Amino acid sequence: MDAPQKEEHRQRKLGATIPLFSLRTAENWGIGEITDLPDCAIWLKTGGFKLLQILPPHELAQGETSPYGARTAFGIDPIYVSVDEIEDLDEPEIERTLGDGGRRELARARASRTVEYDAVRALKSKVLTRAAAIFAEREIAHGTERAKKFQAWCAANASWEDDLATYVSLRKKNDAKGWRDWPEKERNRDTSTLENQMRADEGTIFAHRYAQWNAELQWDNARKRMRDIGIELMGDLPFVVGTESADVWQRPNEFEVDASLGAPPDAFTPKGQDWGLPPYRWSEIEKNDFAWLRARVRRAAMLYDRFRLDHLIGVFRMYVVHGGDAQKGKFEPETEPEQTARGKRVLGVMVEEARKSGIELIAEDLGVVPDFARAVMRDLDVPGYRVIPWERDFVNHRYRDPREFAEASVASWSTHDTAPIGAMWKSLEQWERDGLADLCKVSRTANEGDLWRAQMHLLVNARSSLALVLGQEIIDDDVRINTPGTVGPQNWTYRFGKTFEDMDRDSRIAERMATLRKLAEEGGR
């Protein structure tokens, strides 16, 4: 049983984990858009849900698809902007800008089973660039109220947007090369060089700011509509950003750019893992009282109602790889007392900033997490994850009853890095299926419909204050969002097969939503 927590009587909620990119509507451009969030909220409401969890929505570079490989920790990816909702565009202007070829490509992207990132990004970039030019001509040139609002937004967000826009401009200038391969003055952020670049490529800089401004306007409006509907938005904060990001270029002294994070060898990966992400230099970060980390939490508070901190164990210890040989990596810091002290300090800062901002932090504590880390979580009253198939006594092979989970926890059958429970169930050993079926109080030979209802009943009745259902588990789709350790078009491209309107008309999905709503009501969620 989980150790007692300091908190009691948290509000019980049923939530759904659905990436923003997976949402499908008749109007969007082949990828979920910010303006689709309220439509998703309306649909979820029919199933008794009170929360939507999405994956990181931050800006990716051309060719990148993983939301954990963003080139910024702050900016929203313009690929999620609904160009149809931009005030500076009308349908004829969009049609002219796309041209015949663009319209054909848009139709193909909309019909695609998966997200076609490169195609969608190219189409939206073209239209957003045109919209920015129109805005400059009609608004900026005349000092209108909208122009003043845009300029105020630029000033308020200059701490991250100036560097991000300049970084994007310099990447273009240097043929998409990484910042470590740029000329010395650009690489080392010479002030006059950066100012000259901002003047020389004013169009790119302005268009980037314009796209980010529109993204945030749409985000704020979507959040307001979701609150009115009664659905919380839960986000995801990656542990770190990529080396090739505006953030690392801006503050390279706070990262080990010549090393990478990874995982030590184990039975599944005897050579260890090298993730290609930069380790933190905590000693440098602490000198400015974790300013960048605090800023990330404040940004999360602007975007979400609560957020998940990815890879919790990383704030306690990092497996650092030098020279690309993961077998020879080592933990930093090395000793348990040092790791405990590091975790208390770093996680404590994030919790402090989150609470000041009025937002809850939830820690992704899956995998190998030592007892001392969980003790720090309990001391700080930070909820963790409880994935039902992984919660068992590995000596006696007995599954833990979710009704005994800590109230300050998140219960689920799966995550975005696993198969949905329907597919996962088929891959389990027979003794595992038997044990889970007994826990669900369902026949070991139950049909798929009865088994699903029993699985959802067990989840909804967990003691955990938040129970999360993967989107595919709602609509009976076995496709994975991501398979860790693999790279390819099968990852991060999942789209719902139907629009929300079509799912409402699908009697099987509607029946599942009605079942979930009843279970949520009976389970006090």
Q: How far is CA 357 from the centre of its chain?
A: 19
Contact between 312 and 364 under an 8 Å Cβ cutoff? The reply is: yes
Please report whether residue 457 resides in a domain. Answer: no
**What pLDDT, on a 0 to 100 scale, did the predictor assign at position 2?**
55
- Encode pLDDT of 405-421 as tens digits: 999 999 999 999 999 99
Say if residue 335 is in the same domain as residue 216.
no
Q: Assess whether 160 and 262 both reside in one domain.
A: no
Mean per-residue pLDDT for 393-403? 88
DSSP strand pairing (259-263 vs 318-322) = antiparallel
DSSP bridge pairs for 387? 412
Q: What is this structure's pTM?
A: 0.95
User: Are residues 298 and 190 both part of a single domain?
Assistant: no
Please list the residues that pair with 13 across neighbouring strands.
466
Within-domain flag for 293: yes
pLDDT for 10 equals 86
**Range name among 122-126, 175-179, 501-505 with the lowest pLDDT average:** 175-179
34 and 125 co-located in one domain: yes
Flag whether 429 is in a domain.
no
Q: Please say if the pLDDT value at position 501 is more than 50.
A: yes
Beta strands 13-17 and 259-263: pairing type?
A: unpaired
| Domain match, 217 and 288 both | no
Per-residue pLDDT at 270: 87
In a domain, 352, yes or no: yes
The percentage of the chain sitting over the pLDDT mark of 90, rounded to a whole number, equals 92
Report CA-CA distances (Å) from 102 to 9, 29, 112, 123: 54, 12, 15, 7
Q: pLDDT band at residue 3, thresholds of 50, 70 and 90?
A: very low
Task: Report d(CA 293, CA 154) in Å as an integer.
Answer: 21
When pLDDT is averaged across residues 30-40 and rounded to a whole number, the result is: 98
Give me the mean pLDDT over the 324-341 stretch: 95
What is residue 386's three-state secondary structure? strand
- Helices and strands (H, E) in the chain, number of each type: 19, 14
The last residue of one of the domains, among 345, 380, 415, is: 380
- How do residues 239-258 score in pLDDT, each as one tens digit? 999 999 999 999 999 999 99
Task: Give yes or no: residues 165 and 290 share one domain.
Answer: no
State the pLDDT at residue 167. Answer: 97
User: Is 196 within a domain?
Assistant: yes
Under 8 Å between Cβ of 212 and 157: yes
Instruction: Tell me, yes or no, whether 44 and 150 share the same domain.
Output: yes
Among 348, 364, 380, the domain-final residue is 380
Burial label for 376, CB within 10 Å (0-12, 13-18, 19+), is buried
Same domain, 69 and 124: yes
Same domain for 44 and 110, yes or no, is yes
Q: What is the percent of the chain with per-residue pLDDT over 70, rounded to a whole number?
A: 98
Q: Is 351's pLDDT higher than 50? A: yes
Q: How many residues does the chain have?
A: 525
pLDDT 10s digits, 149-172: 999 999 999 999 999 999 999 999
What stretch of H or E contains 470? strand 466-470
Let me know whether 322 and 273 are in one domain.
yes
331 forms beta bridges with 319
Q: Is the pLDDT of residue 90 over 80?
A: yes
Contact present, 81 and 215 (Cβ < 8 Å): yes
Question: Can you give the CATH number for the domain in which 226 is found?
Answer: 3.20.20.80
pLDDT by residue (tens digit) across 427-477? 999 999 999 999 999 999 999 999 999 999 999 999 999 999 999 999 999
Strand-strand pairing, 13-17 and 330-332: unpaired
Distance CA 513, CA 510 (A): 5
- On whether residue 205 sits in a domain, the answer given is yes
Examine the domain organization and report whether 222 and 183 are in the same domain.
yes
pLDDT of residue 484: 87
Whether the per-residue pLDDT at 5 is higher than 70: the answer is no
Residue 503 domain-assigned (yes or no): no
Would 524 be classed as within a structural domain? no
**133 and 34 together in one domain:** yes
Its domain, for residue 366, covers 251-380
- Looking at residue 8, its pLDDT comes to 53
Query: What's the chain's average pLDDT?
Result: 95
Closest CA to 263 of 249, 251, 273, 255: 273
Final residue in a domain of this structure, among 353, 380, 407: 380
Domain count, the chain: 2
Q: What is the pLDDT of residue 118?
A: 96
